[in-house]
A and B are shown apart, each in its own frame.
Chain A
Amino acid sequence: MHCALKFCSYWKNKTRQPYRFFCLFFLFGITGCSGLEPVAAWERGYLAEDAMQWQSSTREAKFKGHVYTSKEASSGGNGAAGGGCGCN
């Protein structure tokens, strides 16, 4: 955090506000300057829990995506789209 702020403050006088925001966003996203304490390899037990996964199961995610995509106007948000179906 500190690292990104310091770097981006260099732009202060030269650059307009939106660019500075972009600079911060870019640094948070791309560099390691996020200010987060790294979680050591042996401390990742909770992160490995089933409860912490993005999908409860691959097949459930597929099924759910299929149902909602065919009954609602929206799609996406979970990787690239697959093939369609003639679902009415």
Chain B
Amino acid sequence: MAVISNGQNSVQSASTIKQSPLVRTLGAAVAALPAYQSTYADAPPEFTEVGLRYSHYSEDSLSEDKFIAGARGRYDIDVTQLWIEAPVGSSWSIAVDVQNDSMSGASPWFVGTQVDGQPGVIMSGASIYDNRVEVGATTRYFWADGNAGFNVTHSKEDDYEALALAFDVAWNSDDNSRTWSASASTSNDTVEPVTGNIPVFIDREDIDTASVYFGVSQILSRTAILRIGLGYTISEGYLSDPYKLFDERPDKHKRTALSGGYRKFFPEAQGALQIDYRYYADDWGTDSHTAEVAWHQNFDRFSVTPYLRYYSQREADFFSVIADLENEFYADDFRLSSYGALTAGLRSTVQIGDWQFEGQLERYESDNDWGLYDGDAAPALVDFWRATIGISWRFD
């Protein structure tokens, strides 16, 4: 269709463009200009966005055959997220996030033995109620081929308070096909358990956490992009669960996560395959594999994304189904046991002018038999439903 010449000569056909001396010379030299990328690394948001999301998270009640005493109903959480994100001047953006979690329900207190000899769970007596409010602010600076952000987040609930600072930076390679990213964060948390219907044995304890991450993403073709990342986190302080009767954990926790992701767009299908993987290992003897596969299907004004997630972890060294108080460290927390878990979900978004609506539903089930690692089954493994609706609006 297009007819080109180099301006000095007569008109040439499109097929001879490659021979144009201008292009040949420019090929190497211009490669370093900032390009618009899928990562948005080099430009602040064009418009202000405000949004509201509501999620309901509901755990299944503990089944009769695994229950000994207390209340069988487990956690229900209502989560409200509110945010505003806006460009400031020509090179900055600011985002403020507010999140409120309202929790109610009972949680496993300890694991004992039922009359038939099988392990069973003693739940906290009646329903616990707690409310958590989190406020975070992020400022971000954008330059021609990168951006850097600084975030402060404060989280407060009756018995827990956390203050976290995070810094991240992303920059593009000269040919704009590769983006490097790095981040570092620290968090100072304070646990002050409140005595409800179960006794607690600590007054006030601290946890300090530091974390670093380094990652790179690479454009492979017009339709494919790949990334890998490595993260390391260290926590020190009171890492036991104060609401469990038998829970004594080391006061240091070092964690490493290696992650990868792949996105492939299929223009004929107007959809993309999304694959993510993470390997995690820590110094408590736990390691895990997480794999997620999704298909994002575009339609005219909306999208539908079904997804599957598989997760499997190895039990911590000090975990046992019934806590072994003879050891220095012990825990009967199901979250430290060996198991496998499957999540199936569906996410959908609708775009109408400057408004975006989203909806999401997912089911999570876990089972000792589904795991890749050996280890006895914890009776309190959790299954849950989660539903989310959200709305956001963009304006000038």
Contact = CB atoms under 8 A, between A and B. Distances in A.
The reply to whether A and B meet directly (CB within 8 Å) is yes
A39 B219 contact: yes
Contacts of A80: 166, 168, 183-185, 211-213, 231, 233
Contacts of B382: 71
Contacts of A50: 296, 298, 303, 349
Contact of A56 (B175, B189, B216, B347): B347
B166 A86 contact: no
B166 A44 contact: no
Given A76-B231, A88-B241, A56 B305 contact: yes
Given A75-B255, A76-B278, A80-B213, 19 more contacts: A29-B216, A38-B175, A39-B219, A49-B38, A50-B303, A52-B263, A52-B265, A52-B272, A53-B263, A63-B388, A71-B382, A73-B336, A74-B288, A80-B185, A80-B231, A82-B187, A83-B154, A86-B191, A88-B243
A77 B286 contact: no
Q: Kindly name the residue among A32, A36, A53, A54 whose own CB sees the greatest number of chain B CB atoms within 10 A.
A: A54
A13 interface: no
Given A81-B209, A84-B189, A47 B233 contact: no
Interface string A23-38: 0000001001010111
Contact of B36 (A41, A71, A83): A41
Contact of A74 (B162, B173, B286, B358): B286
A88 B242 CA distance: 10
A44 B37 contact: yes
Interface of A: 29, 32, 34, 36-39, 41, 43-44, 46-54, 56-57, 59-60, 62-63, 67-68, 71-88
Contacts of A49: 38, 265, 272, 298
Interface string B225-266: 101010101000000010100000000000111110101010
Nearest to B285: A73
B278 A77 contact: yes
A26 B361 CA distance: 42
Contacts of A60: 347, 358, 360, 388
A77 B166 contact: no
B225 A47 contact: yes
Given A32-B175, A41-B176, A47 B222 contact: yes
A72 B173 CA distance: 36
B173 A32 contact: yes
B73 interface: no
Contacts of A53: 38, 263
Contacts of B257: 74-77
Interface of B: 31, 35-38, 51, 53, 55, 57, 75, 79, 81, 83, 97, 99, 101, 103, 107, 128, 130, 132, 134, 151, 153-155, 157, 159-160, 162-164, 166, 168, 173-177, 181, 183-185, 187, 189, 191, 207, 209, 211-213, 215-223, 225, 227, 229, 231, 233, 241, 243, 255-259, 261, 263, 265, 267, 271-272, 274, 278, 280, 282, 284, 286, 288, 290, 296, 298, 303, 305, 311, 313, 316, 335-336, 341, 347, 349, 358, 360, 364, 382, 384, 386, 388, 390
A81 to B, nearest CB: 4
Contacts of B229: 77-79
B337 to A, nearest CB: 9
Contact of A47 (B101, B175, B219, B278): B219
Contacts of B259: 76-78
Given A79-B231, A83-B189, A72 B335 contact: yes
What 5 pairs across the A-B complex have the smallest Cβ distances? A86-B160, A83-B164, A76-B257, A83-B162, A51-B272
Nearest to B309: A68
17 contacts: A36-B219, A47-B219, A49-B265, A49-B298, A51-B296, A52-B272, A54-B217, A56-B347, A63-B53, A71-B335, A76-B233, A76-B259, A80-B166, A83-B164, A85-B160, A88-B107, A88-B243
Nearest to A31: B173
B347 A86 contact: no
Nearest to B192: A86
A86 B211 contact: no
A47 B38 contact: yes
B162 A44 contact: no
